[in-house]
Amino acid sequence: MASADWSNANGPPFRFDKTIVPDLESPHPEYPAIFSIWGSNDKDEAQRFAELVAFLKERDVIKDYNQVALLLHSVRQEHSGRYLEALNAKGIPAFCPRARAYFENEEIRLIVACFALIFGYYGEGRGDQLFGAVLDLANYIDDCFKDLARSCRPPPSTGVVAARVRW
């Protein structure tokens, strides 16, 4: 850290001078804190990573999943997606805000559908000029409506008859 020039000609420096010292009162187990994992293919590598994270939590090496960081060349969905899927399959919560997948999160899809309903952005409320990016948006919102309908469906055992809504 000291070898880099952290000054900033246009304002405050990018880094504050500080000295980091270990807490000698805390136990410090002997294990590598940084290492590399690889697999026979992309999916295998992601699976191995998810298994490692689960192992670390089960053995109390980490107390919380937020103590783990995965460093990738790029966090775009095409690079990070397989890791997110593998972690999710193991029930490990993961978030990658820069993967450009924000609008694929379930809660975001549901709220987009709710706002589209509230603001009347369905059927004739969309107008008749649907092409290009506006058509892509309309298709995305239609998929969000389907997610919302599925999430509002009563459980099969209740005997409640669901109303049919036409978009």
Which CATH number does 1-101 carry? 3.40.50
* Higher-confidence position of 104 and 100: 104
C-alpha distances out from residue 25 to 21, 22, 28, Å: 12, 9, 9
**For 138-145, what is the mean pLDDT?**
94
H helices present in the chain, as ranges: 42-58, 77-89, 106-118, 132-152
Under the banding of pLDDT at 50, 70 and 90, the label for residue 26 is confident
* Whole-number Å distance between alpha carbons of 60 and 53: 11
Q: 40 pLDDT exceeds 80?
A: yes
Residue with tokens 């694929």: 104
| Winning range, highest mean pLDDT, from 32-36, 37-41, 110-114 | 110-114
Structural domain boundaries in the chain: 1-101, 105-167
**For 75-88, what is the mean pLDDT?**
89
Q: 93 pLDDT exceeds 60?
A: yes
Query: What is residue 33's predicted lDDT score, i.e. its pLDDT?
Result: 74
Say if residues 83 and 117 touch (Cβ distance below 8 Å): no
Mean pLDDT for the chain?
85
pTM over 0.85: no
Tell me the two tokens of residue 72.
């990738």
